Each structure stands twice: as structure tokens, then as C-alpha cells.
Structure 1
Amino acid sequence: MSTEENQAVDDGDSLSMVDVLAEQSRMQEDASAVLGDSDEQNCTYPSGYVQRQALYACSTCSPTEPAGICLACSYQCHEGHDLYELYTKRHFRCDCGNSKFGENKCKLASDKDDKNTENKYNQNFKGTYCICGRPYPDPEDQAEDEMIQCVMCEDWYHGRHLHAKLPDNENYQEMMCTACMDKHPFLWAYQVCGQAVVVKKESADDKAVKVEVGGGEGEEPVKTENQQPVKVESTSQTATVSEGSEPPAKRMKTEVGEGESGSACKVKKLCLLEDLQTREIPEKHCGAFWPEGWREKLCKCDQCLSMYKAEGLEFLLETGDSVHAYEERGRGKNPGLTDSEIEQSALSGMSHVQKIEVVQGFNDMKTELREYLKSFADSGKVVGPDDIKAFFADLEKKKRRRMGVPQFQCK
């Protein structure tokens, strides 16, 4: 091999090491995002129904009934068992050691109810996913397809089974499956207009009411509480509607609560949903993708709040419910820690056997990486960033094939 070729390989190897470290950092960040906001030392049962947490299902202890266990119990109570990694679920209380587990009691929290009546289970607790009800990876399906989690039912779906085109550049934060959109069709109205409508009054002495109107075309008629029609130009900015010289009796009525300052007031809110439903909404039978911040634009009038409660959708208004919010909390739990500190923290919650398995896995990765890079050196080919990404992607597939968990794609 010529000096130039040796130099090229050396340069390629130098570049590849940078990429290896970058990929390792990315994988650590992903692990922190998924597990960082979950307690690895203590069973979460005493905390009640946790807003969102990492969960697992043990087919060894509960082969017939669906049951979920928390992160700490997966380490301390189910070592060596066959587990399904469920990623995260909302409003769930750890089942470990209850009546679904027979004689297998929880080692971390023994005083538990027989059943957690508010827990919700789906087919994921049995290791199957999507409308096709297949495992992941599926030995009978060779098609390359990512799996995406529905924000409503929290099942995982193949992209091709959503009957909807993935947004360009994956520019979305959450997805709802076809069945959930069919179950809650009012949500299609929010796909027509992405802006919110809010009516508010700055103080009791103001003679102007601020109205924020969605970005439709033309002018939008808006009615105040006394049913006086006011036209404001449709805009994404805040519009000011003046009440002119109308007598006080005809001004928009405000309600000042006891103990509140005179500047604090409440105004009956317009129903954004009713406004959006006056527009043409095409009938669809498919999944829907939602951009960042879409939940904030849901109508919060009394009528809509009652509807959310009746349909079991109150979680949509909780800022900490989304997977994105959960992952951000996880990433923020250990800011600025070195790689060795992160590794030590992770190992501290594992048993001796689990630590051995982790070390063995790391050694296996080093061996595979060494062989992978050697093939480039033997052929004189420079190793590039795409080659390293391909190596880790293949490594991840092998891992998931062993564990039987979906390729997480949750915004």
C-alpha cells in the first residue's frame, strides 16, 4: 500500500474515531432521555399513577395477564426474565408483585393492592404492535419501516399502516393513529387552522378587548358576550377591538373574583372549535401528524373542557404529559456529567449479573467495531461518517432483534 493510501486510511480512521465518540454520546443522550426521568432505585408504586414513566412487561412472571413494571423493579425483581421494553406509558402504577404475579412478590414495595384499576393495557404488553398485531422485529417481514407511537392509545405503528404520508423532513412532534382519529373526529378541525383564538381583557378599566384570531382567509366575525358582532381582520398577530363610546352597560362583562385585585378579570371565552368547524373539513380515514406546540392551541372553553373529560382526553392539556416533555426532563437530570460518571450512575442500579452483561456487551461492540474498521484498512478504503452511522444502525438492529422491542420513533 502506498504512503498516500496509508495516510488516507489513517485520516479515515481518525475521522471514524470522532464519529464513534459522537455516536456514543448520542446513544447516551437517548438513554438519558428515556430513562433519566424514571427512578432506577425505588419502585414507583408509592407515587401512585405516575404521569409518565419507563415501563416493562415480564412474560416470565405474568404470561397470561398484561402487567407493567417500573424501571427499578425490572432491575431488582425480574433479573434474567423475559421482558418487553414498553418505552413510556402515561398514568400508570407499577404492577410488580400484585395478584397478576402469583407468588412473585415485589422486593422493593411489598404492600400493594391486588390490582391497579386505572392502569390501561394494550397489545404491547404481549410483545405485539400495530394494526397488523406482529412482533418487532418481525421475522416474516423484511420491509424497512420505522415504528411510530400514537400519542393517544400509545400503541406503536408501522409508518406504512398509518395511511398517511410522513411530513417532509419528519417535521412533527406527535402522531395519532387512524383508529384514534376516527374515535375523536373533532380533532380534524385543528388540522385546518393551526392558530389559537383567545379573548382576554388586560384590566377592568380597559376599553379595548384583545382578540387573537386563527390564520384563515378574509375577515372573521366575532361575537362578544352580549352578542354584538364585531369584525376583526384574520391575522396571526393580536388584534385590538375597540368598543368605542358605547355605554358601560354594553361593554363586555367581566367577572372579578373575591380576593382578586381590581385589575384581574375573566371574560367568557369564545369556542375556537365551533369557529373551526364552520370551515370545510374534508373527511379522512388515516393517521395525523401534529407539529410542536399544537396542544397549546386546543380550545379551553367550558364546553370543550367538558368534552375532553367525557372522552378521556384531559391529558392533552397537561404540559408534562407529552413524550417530548418527559425526555427533556430526563436529559436535564444529569447535565454536565462526564461519560464515566454517567456510566457509574447507570451501573450503580444494576445487579452483579447485569453489570457483567453490560461489560460483555461493550466488549462485543469493541470487537465488532475493530473487525468492521479492519475491513476498510484491508481494502484501503477511507472510513467516513456514513460508514460509522451504518455500523451503529446495524448494531442497534441486532440488539433489538435479540430483545424484541420496536425501533423507537416518538417525537
Structure 2
Amino acid sequence: MASLGSLTEFVASQDELVREAALTLPHEFSRCTYSLGPIRQAVYLCLTCAVPRGLCSSCSIACHTDHEQIELFPKRNFRCDCPTTAIPHGCTLHRSIEGENMENKYDQNFRSIFCRCSRPYDPKSERETMIQCLACEDWFHESCLHLRTRPSSRQASPVPETKVTTHDDDANDNQSEASSSGLPPPLISAEDYDAFVCSSCVCSIDTLRRYAGTQGAIMVVRDAEDSSWRKLDGNASGMNASTTTEGDLLDIDDSLAAPGQKRSRSQSFHSEGPERKKQHISPEPSSPCLAPSPNPVAQAIFQGSQLLSDTKASLGAGDVFLTEGWRERWCRCSRCFPSLSGHPYLLEEEETYEPPEDPDSGLSLEELGMRALERLPRDRAIDGIRAFNDMRDDLLAYLRPFAQEGRIVSEADVRLFFESLREGQRGY
């Protein structure tokens, strides 16, 4: 039978559990975010509910406690679905029943499917680190980004490396310092970049496509199908001269072809906090284009993908890893700015909602007990104090023989004491 040792050790162990709980859940989860409207916030997918919809942090804890859930991490412009008619499970925090959120976007993540490989995510078997795209906010395996060879076996994975980049920084909060569990370092490690944008999103943003493969916008490429993958960061020409020809570059958009001359946390806000002042963002119409010259290797990859040329597309997917300070490096001339302004997260850090701090977080067991008493009506508080004093006296009387005889209090002894209390027995 395991022994409890001394009461001091037992109390110390309980205090440690309280501290660990405060670090794990430091926020107060008593308010659904539905009333805040569409915001950027952590979203949880409930697998138990029949309809695949998203929950805010508070509802994931207060309303779906016993349900199986997957954390999708931050999603922008998202409104909690818990109090809506889309989820039959009633919301305990937002009492009014609301209509379905028609503006929410439910991508493949809401079917528990991730990455361009469309593999389901199983935290118990997935071994690879996954990285979140700043733009579409989907998650990608390192092997699918050509950062490593896909592991042959599946073991428990580490915390996802949220290079969530919009958050070029929120990413950093969620980002795992280690690479995939038990695997060698990837071609591009977490310390090498600040934000990740998948190839599909790069292709849809003209200025970002223009910067791809230049300094500070790293790509992963290879010279031939049988070559090793390597980094393309604008510091080297990239391919052999024979691989890229003038004809490969003819289709580059003329508007993009003009030649040109560890990290802070993302901003967060609370529902009752002061509104953060936004930086005024505008183009510089009279300025010359300062964007770097397009990297011929990168542009050949994009053209190959658009032309569905297997040979060219196999040289790289077109994903981009942006290094620290990338927002300050954009050219804001009349040609480059329009495609950036349609994606505000490319120009300034996004605010991410976090629940307010829990006033009880970090309090000791004694302090938590006193806080609970203070919230009770006076007559009930007095009854509670009397009951506690009675139990204390009984416990002291029960433990006195152990102290006098030098015996260790076992788990069975403690259980016997509380069983006796429940039966109303007195005198030991």
C-alpha cells in the first residue's frame, strides 16, 4: 500500500497540482465569444457533435467537456458556432439560440483533414511536425513541403509547430522548438523563418509570387527529379544555366517585372480591453518599385505549375518561408501594394482574441477556499466554516495516535477517515 509520507509533502504535492493547472489554463472560460462577432481566435473542432463546426475556447471547455475535440489553432474572421442552430448541443454560456453563421469558412480542417495530401490527423499516430500556412491557415506536413523524407513509421507526434504565420508570431506562441519527434532536423528549421505561405496561396498573391525565391523569401527546390532538395533564398542563382531559358520567363506578369533596387508575440485582445490603434497603411504611389528582380528559378516553377508541366512542377512546389522582418520589406508602390492590401495580415500583425485572465489562477488551495467562502451568502459561509472546523477537529483526533506512535499515514487510513465521516461516526 502506498504511503502518503508527511502531511507537509501531501499539501506540497497538491499545491504543485494547482500551479500546473494555472499554467495550463490561465484564462477564465466563462464567456462565449459569439457576441464579439467574427474575430481571429483559437477554434476547436468537436468530433462528437454530428455537425462539423467550430467552438471558441470557452465553449470547448464549458459546453463540450466530455466530447472528443481537435484544436485547429487560430482561424481569422471566425464566429463561435456553439450557440447556433448548427449544433444541437445547447450552449451553456450564451443562452440565446442564434442562427447559423453564414460567414464562417469551413475548410477541410473541419473534416479533420489537413495538408495538400488530405491525410486525416491523428495525434496518437502522427509523427511529423505540421506547419500552418499564414494565408489559408491549413496545416502541412514537413515531408509534403519537401523539408524531409516522410517517416516510415508513425509514432506520437510533438505539439504542432505552428508557424502560423499571420501571426508571424502567433505562430511563435504555438511553435514547437523541437523538430518532428525523434527525426533529424528538417531542411528549413523553425529558427530559419518567421512565416510560411503554401504554394496555392503564393500563386494567388501577385507581389508575394514576385518575391518568392529572393532574399528573405526562401523556397525549397531541386535541379532535377533525381536531385536533392535544397533552399533557394536569392543568394545563389539556383539552377544550372541550361535548366532555365529565356522562354521560361516570358509569361511573367509585366506589372511584376520592374527591377528594383527570437521574436515578439502577436497582439491579442480581450472583450473588455481597450481597442488597439491600427497603423495607417497606404501605398506610396510616387515611389519607384523597390521589389527585387524576380528569381528565374522560382518563376519557372510557378509557370510550370500553371502549365501543368510535370517536369517543371517537380522542381519545386512553390511554397515560401518568409524570414524575420518580412512585413517591413514589402515594396509599396502602386504596382506591388494592391495585391498586398487585399490581405491585411501581410501588412500588419493580426490581433488574436484570448479569454481574460482567471482571477483565481495561481492562488493556493487555502486562498481558493477563502475566495469560495467570500462568494457565499453569509449564513452559508458560516455553516461552511463550522463544518470545516468540525472536520479539522476530527482529523486531528484521528491522526494524533499516528504521530504519537511514529506511524506513516497510508492511503487506506485516509479513506477510512472519510468513510467514517460519511457514515456520521465520531471518536476513533
Provide TM-score, normalisation by structure 1.
Answer: 0.47
The TM-score with structure 2 as length reference comes to 0.45
- Greater percentage in helix: 1
**Greater relative contact order, per chain length (Cα 8 Å cut-off, separation 6+):** 1
Larger radius of gyration: 2
